[in-house]
Amino acid sequence: MSLRKSTSLQHKGRASTAELTAAVRANHQRNPVRLFEDPLARFLCGWFWRLVVRLRPLYWILVKRVLRAIEPVSLCVLLRARYAEQALESAVERGIDQYVIIGAGMESFAFRRPDLMSRIDVFEIDHPFTQSQKLARIRQAGWTIPSRIHFVSADLTRISAVDALKGSGFQRSRPTFLTLMGVAYYISAEDLNQTAESIARNLPEGTLLLLDYLLDETSSSAEHRVMKEKMKAFVAKRGEPMVAEYSLASMNGLMAARGFDTVENLTLPELEQRYRIPQGAWELEIPSIFAVGTFRVTARPPQDA
Ligand SMILES: C[S@@+](CC[C@H](N)C(=O)[O-])C[C@H]1O[C@@H](n2cnc3c(N)ncnc32)[C@H](O)[C@@H]1O
């Protein structure tokens, strides 16, 4: 996995995108029509975002005026969170008992879902910079860390997610549920290939990988392309450029070449239709900028066959 230049701006960029996603989830809790319940998200925000989330006019000014370019990301953050958690619930019902969150950021799952935590081991992999911030916030909140959560601190530009899990209690022989949410656009296609390949090569059939990604030019309308370019310029300026985009077909192809079957692969507007989000829940039309997919390990990567 990439982002080869390891500058302090990039460390901050990573931490601040994690922070921003927590702020999006925290603010969403004020919405009467909720797509995703995360009452703990605000505790994982830093002081600035906690203040912004508490003071609605401030949030409004900041998000509607200053951060307008990244509004589509907010929709993606909530939709992908709901998508991943519903898929996890079904996977746990089918007997999967390991959940690996690659690039976990300020995910509050382990503290929010004691019902699932009693049935699974959760492995949160993140950059040491982001993870230490998160652990400090957990301490500050006074939360008890569940015994079945395992924090794995790793710079994925240097080590694969699968190798990073060594020594954490993770069992490679067991089918696993993995998510790579909010990450695939920040890493090159080559690095996504390597990540997928190391999962398919080392974990058993039935393992699931869920990810969201940026749609390429061929997949968006002209209007959405403009929105996407503004969003990309905004995040690049803050140290975490979005470097990779795919069509639905090219993502299916990438995953198939690495030994995955596509369970499903859909654009956010398609996902929105599945959830039948009531009118008025969003002020924005959900743009066709992002997609989410579920891919299942079915075979060893082709070169091993
Ligand atoms: C946009 S956040 C996504 C957080 C969360 N998965 C979500 O869906 O809201 C991206 C996460 O990827 C992590 N990340 C980015 N580059 C990384 C690297 N080289 N090694 C480890 N983690 C990295 C960041 O620290 C951050 O937590």
Q: Is 156 in the pocket of ligand 1 (CB under 6 A)?
A: yes
H or E element at residue 72:
helix 71-93
Rounded distance, CA 9 to CA 7, Å? 5
Pairing assessment for the beta strands 290-297 and 208-214 based on DSSP bridges? antiparallel
Rounded distance, CA 285 to CA 247, Å? 20
Question: Do residues 183 and 102 make contact, with C-beta atoms less than 8 angstroms apart?
Answer: yes
pLDDT of residue 73: 81
pLDDT of residue 10: 54
Q: Got the DSSP string for 282-304?
A: -SS---TTEEEEEEEE-S--GGG
Pairing assessment for the beta strands 260-267 and 290-297 based on DSSP bridges? antiparallel
Could you tell me the distance, in angstroms and rounded to a whole number, from the CA of residue 153 to the centre of ligand 1? 11
Residue 240 DSSP label:
-
H or E element at residue 102:
strand 98-102
**Alpha-carbon separation of residue 102 from 34, 143, 174 (angstroms):** 25, 22, 17
Total-model pTM: 0.92
One-letter amino acid identity for 252? N
pLDDT of residue 301: 57
pLDDT of residue 305: 46
Q: Is 14 in the pocket of ligand 1 (CB under 6 A)?
A: yes
- Residue to probe by mutation, ligand 1, list 1, 82, 99, 130, most atoms within 8 Å of CB: 130
- Give φ, ψ of 228 to 5 degrees: -65, -40
Rounded distance, CA 230 to CA 139, Å? 37
| Residue 247: alpha-carbon gap to chain centroid | 18
Pick the closest to residue 107 from 86, 129, 85, 91 (CA basis): 85
In this structure, how many other beta carbons lie within 10 angstroms of the beta carbon of residue 214? 21
Residue 300: CB partners within 8 Å, gap ≥ 6?
A: 200, 201, 259
Mean pLDDT, consecutive 10-residue segments, the chain of 305 residues?
44 71 90 89 92 84 75 86 97 97 97 96 96 96 97 93 96 98 94 95 97 91 85 84 95 97 95 77 76 91 53
Domains of the chain: 8-304 (3.40.50.150)
Residue whose CA lies nearest to ligand 1 atom number 24: 14
CA dihedral 40, 63, 226, 255 (to 10 degrees): -10
Q: How many residues does the chain have?
A: 305
Q: Is 239 in the pocket of ligand 1 (CB under 6 A)?
A: no
pLDDT of residue 13: 53
Could you tell me the distance, in angstroms and rounded to a whole number, from the CA of residue 15 to the centre of ligand 1? 7
Could you tell me the distance, in angstroms and rounded to a whole number, from the CA of residue 35 to the centre of ligand 1? 22
Q: Is 182 in the pocket of ligand 1 (CB under 6 A)?
A: yes
Q: Is 79 in the pocket of ligand 1 (CB under 6 A)?
A: no
